[in-house]
């Protein structure tokens, strides 16, 4: 009788452990899916960061180029203005 009760208890516990094991497998599968999705998001963030960095470098290059062209234009303008002033001084003299 005691042996029969022990076998019944053992089978009951075994069934419960099997049920728990199945649940853990399900949770593990879900966590694996979440982990893969997080990895994809991380790759996308790294790609986005690289693109943003390239864009920023491009904007900085464009700004430097534009600043250099404006400086050259300002220098040329100043030289021509000085030349014009010199011409006006000579033209005004009788």
Angstrom distance (rounded) from CA 76 to CA 70? 10
Mean pLDDT of 46-67: 96
H-type alpha helices, the chain? 2-92
Angstrom distance (rounded) from CA 65 to CA 2? 93
Angstrom distance (rounded) from CA 61 to CA 71? 15
pLDDT at 47 over 70: yes
Mean model confidence pLDDT for the chain: 91
Angstrom distance (rounded) from CA 86 to CA 18? 101
The whole-number pLDDT of residue 94 equals 64
The whole-number pLDDT of residue 2 equals 72
């Amino acid at each position: 009788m005691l042996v029969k009760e022990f076998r019944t208890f053992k089978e009951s516990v075994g069934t419960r452990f099997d049920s728990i094991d199945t649940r853990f497998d399900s949770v593990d599968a879900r966590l694996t899916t979440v982990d893969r999705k997080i990895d994809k998001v991380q790759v996308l963030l790294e790609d986005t960061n690289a693109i943003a960095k390239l864009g920023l470098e491009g904007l900085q290059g464009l700004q430097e180029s534009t600043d250099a062209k404006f400086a050259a234009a300002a220098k040329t303008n100043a030289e021509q203005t000085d030349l014009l002033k010199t011409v006006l001084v000579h033209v005004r003299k009788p």
